[in-house]
A and B are shown apart, each in its own frame.
Chain A
């Protein structure tokens, strides 16, 4: 597929607005994600980060504004359509199938990607088994692939989410707190993997992350949100120096700022 504008970034979000009843969860947010780049959204609890992800991936259609993939509008499309356009995502609260094995969780995503869902006569257990195993190897879960997903530790579930999100060979990867609940070493390892994948495969990654060290060391650009609004966008150096960002993260504003979000 050739992009409409050869220079257009992979993902463009323009003046996004999402309402929950009276709450303006996202209020006029714009951001870009280029192929091969890692863009981080940071902000205190309730800032609207997850809502941004949901609006982009179609889980919660935006009330106003536009989401463009390769310059074409995808706002308001169904999540399953957006998936088929090459967008993969993970969820903050993991969304996996507890009654399937780890491998089956990946297989079922592959089955859907290869459009074999409506085949009542094909045995799912044999479909795309090797492909699923390759993805599990990538995230280092080969040893767990036959375990029931319901008994996994939370950190492992998070990693499994990444494998599932990679099943449709995405061009855009949305990761909502991919490392929450992991040990620091595990975190660094996983995010280093994501950075490598982004560079090797030209995947654009939009992610949120509570570990500020990871954000500042890996992100090419950082988007700061507060109470639904865009506060600042820029390179890690610019953001680090921004007084408004410091204000939020040093907790002077009493509506915001949790300890875990303060830069160390």
Chain B
């Protein structure tokens, strides 16, 4: 490669780094002050692009100055939307558990995801390009897009302004103090609310700015929010949450390595990103410039009652349900049976997530990864190795637990929101690989025609029923076991766990792998049930579905995810008959759960019962 080409690649990398920096620095700043990871950050980035598109379309067809003004105006509008979201929703969120904060901000992104196509339509939108910003310049014999240079300049200006604001203004002093010491924020008194609003607005403004600037490089499209938030998570995980320097260094690292990686090993780009993240986290679990987290944290389950042996009415209900499902084929037709199968698969998936979320107290946003790996293991095994039904079904949980071993090893090095972001980023990387590796996975078209000719639907129904009953029995049992007890100590009091000889990471990894094994089994079953596999099996949407199922039911016992999964599945099917704006409904549902119904159905009922008993 010539020097010119190398330089051009390096500059392209720097331009990507500029976007990465602009997106992630906002995320990181907001976290530093409010301790909220704003999942909707990527969605605001996307809104920036769409608003920018509209403005430039109206006002800036010709000259560069009005183009830049439109970009800034778009960022201001997005910032204003962010401020409204902060005032209406986020204000109520600062005191609630991390899981609910993440879910609420994710709900905002769901709303945005569904509202944008209503306003702008589903097509990709290409902004008009101002002539003076188009074209390229020669650099040692290689061509370099001018716009990339402007991107770099824009990021540099923002960096400079941020630097001045943080080091030279009173507001910056507050920010630094609050980032350093969380208790300081409380001591700020009345100022605190406005500091939070200000920082949140600034963060969203920066996301909008990055989105609008991005218009000069790509079209505005509905997938850009998710990929932006994934990359931003990778950047802040590597750089360290709350650190501007960290965001800068990590953005340059990722931007450059992706750009040069594309030049040298185009297929390995995503794997490269994963390897960098793994390498950094192995050495510095809190990121390059992050501070180690304190071991103790207060968490959401401290008012949970001690575990009790499974009560007799509950055991009776479980047996009755099992009996009912055993005779169901006599009553239900093929369609009815397939619905029951789908519900059972959802139950196994939610049940496996419950183990991590409930007794484990770990918030994962990437559980679909193991479901998807199981599903693809079945599909690929049948397609390329001609596996039988039984052996493919064994392969699914095996493959999922192998992935869980590798990803889990990395993820359990961190906890809290870092764990959530990391599991999310890892799942997204797998999703992207599956999506892009067209030759093997069929990409977007998926793999279809998986139903083995020799398999009768009735046999499959009973296999699923047996596996579901077994899985739920095991997943419900583990919290009562020695491992489950140790797991709850790591959740409630990590410092105590270490002081009584419990290896916190190992216990968490163990539980993570067990849970993923069952998620993989669910995925494998779903590959057969549907007869096909698509990348959506791994998507963030599926992970969120799982979280909502568990939360709707409640995290205190295995009955929660079982009830929650059934309710969620039936509700989704019912609602989808009337509207395809499912994400809008789901977004509102999540916000409702978080604000009014945090204990879930089973949790609320058993709380009622306990209350009445003690009276």
Contact = CB atoms under 8 A, between A and B. Distances in A.
Interface of A: 57-59, 78-80, 83-84, 88-89, 91, 93, 95-101, 104, 107-109, 111-113, 116-125, 127, 148, 150, 164, 167-168
A119 B500 contact: no
B499 interface: yes
B305 interface: yes
A58 B514 CA distance: 29
Given A89-B499, A108-B500, A100 B488 contact: yes
A95 B493 contact: yes
B480 A125 contact: yes
Task: Determine the main DSSP class of B at the interface with A.
Answer: helix
Q: Which of B309, B484, B486, B499 has the most CB of A within 10 A?
A: B499
B569 interface: no
B488 A97 contact: yes
A97 B486 CA distance: 10
Contacts of B302: 98-99, 150
A120 B513 CA distance: 13
B478 A113 contact: no
Contacts of B484: 120, 124
Contact of B495 (A95, A101, A123): A95
Q: Which of A88, A117, A124 has the most CB of B within 10 A?
A: A117
Nearest to A161: B496
Interface stretch (B163-171, B374-382, B501-509): B501-509
Q: Which of B296, B304, B502 has the most CB of A within 10 A?
A: B502
B481 interface: yes
A117 B306 contact: no
Contacts of A111: 482, 485-486
B301 interface: yes
Interface in B445-500: 477-478, 480-486, 488-489, 492-493, 495-496, 498-500
Contacts of B483: 117-120
A59 B498 contact: yes
A98 B488 CA distance: 10
B512 to A, nearest CB: 13
B303 interface: yes
Contacts of B486: 108, 111-112, 117
Nearest to A113: B501
B513 to A, nearest CB: 11
A-B residue pairs, 10 tightest by C-beta = A95-B496, A83-B501, A79-B498, A109-B500, A124-B485, A112-B501, A97-B492, A120-B483, A99-B304, A80-B501
B293 to A, nearest CB: 13
B481 A96 contact: no
Nearest to A164: B500
Nearest to A149: B306
A104 B485 contact: yes
12 contacts: A59-B499, A80-B503, A83-B500, A83-B501, A91-B495, A97-B489, A97-B492, A99-B301, A99-B307, A100-B488, A100-B489, A108-B485
